[in-house]
Amino acid sequence: MTVPFGTVFCDWMTTAPTKDGVYQYGGNVEPYGDFSLSPAAHALHYGSAIFEGLKAHWQVDGSLAIFRLDDHVTRMCQSAELLRLPALDAAVLRQMIVDTVEANVGEVPPPPGSLYIRPTLIGTEPNIGAAATPTSEALLYIVNCPVGDYFKGGVRPLTLLVEEDIPRTTPQFGMVKSGANYAMALSPTLDAMAENAAVDQILFATGGDITETGAANFFLADDDRVVTRQLDSSFLHGVTRSSVIALAEDLGYEIQERPIELEELEDWAGRGEAFLSGTAAVLSPVGTMLRGNSKIVFGDGEPGTNTLRLRESLVAIQNGSGDDLHGWRTTVQS
């Protein structure tokens, strides 16, 4: 797959508009295409829009499986609740995802490619007076994209720029997967990239509090330990993050979920590794971090052995070559 991530869409999608606040899913897929929306739709004015991102992978036995479907469904239900969108029915959402993937099975690329699944929920009430009221109606839809690597150039050491001043979003809504969070992160991201074309991601570390990058969670590792920030509402609770923690535990690493100090980075760079985790990012090595005028290079700047070991173990669960000890795979086509 050489097309940019997320720019090609599969032939089929599913939609469920609400009627009187209740999602109406007829059980049928529809051809992928445009839909009409009131110019006054709540999502367009007041940002009532959330989404999810998950993947289906071909398995080594020839079947197709969705990775951690129920965890993504649960997170989307929670995002809907936190942004006061009409409550989602987890069973309906789950069924829509499965139906869409089954319809698009012929477009799933071979490994290392996969099918990216993008469930989206937008507020549709046509009411521009509803600035301080939740949308009464919404549209839930699922689209799919055949994808390859998210970062151009495949698995390679990334360069992160540490942003200590401008936050990605507000502390209470970082855990919501809402479009608004990504819009807010754009300005600092583009400004940083304009200054340094080599920057792949911004690592948000407001006031020294390292949380996540614009599209992934952040980890440190050495031969014994795997470290990542403890969960709270200020950043996205990555499903891949929780997978990496579980797999690292299985491999015998000590897990530390705790604040990561900026001052620790130099020390880790000298004897450890850093990486990112995410559905799109998978598990991506970090080679260099730029903080103010200093350049922190991890090891020799190449992917570390622990990073690659953890990545292999994650990919093995995703593609069916590893045992599914945690029950993370949902087979959609055998």
Q: Where along the sequence are the contacts to ligand COI (CB under 6 A)?
A: 53, 215, 278-280
CB of 125 to ligand PLP, least distance (A): 27
Work out what residue 286 binds among ligand PLP, ligand COI, none; the CB cut-off runs from 5 to 8 Å by kind. none
Q: b/e for 26-63, b at 16 or more Cβ within 10 A? A: eeebeebeeeeeeeebbbbbbbbbbbbbbbbbbbeeee
The structure tokens listed for 302 are 């190449």
The contact set with ligand PLP (CB under 6 A) reads: 53, 212, 214-217, 236, 238-241, 277-279
The smaller minimum CB distance to ligand COI, of residues 9 and 128, is found at 9
CB of 52 to ligand COI, least distance (A): 7
Label the pairing between strands 138-147 and 114-123. antiparallel
Q: Cα 180 from chain centroid?
A: 15
The smaller minimum CB distance to ligand PLP, of residues 167 and 278, is found at 278
Compute the distance between CA of residue 4 and CA of residue 16 in angstroms, rounded to an integer: 28
The smaller minimum CB distance to ligand PLP, of residues 14 and 277, is found at 277
Work out what residue 239 binds among ligand COI, ligand PLP, none; the CB cut-off runs from 5 to 8 Å by kind. ligand PLP
Compute the distance between CA of residue 229 and CA of residue 327 in angstroms, rounded to an integer: 25
CB of 28 to ligand PLP, least distance (A): 28
What is the DSSP-derived secondary structure letter of residue 305? H
Q: Residue 269 in contact with residue 296, Cβ under 8 Å?
A: yes
CB of 240 to ligand COI, least distance (A): 8
Tell me, what amino acid is at 60? V
The smaller minimum CB distance to ligand PLP, of residues 29 and 142, is found at 142
The smaller minimum CB distance to ligand PLP, of residues 69 and 239, is found at 239
CB of 299 to ligand PLP, least distance (A): 24
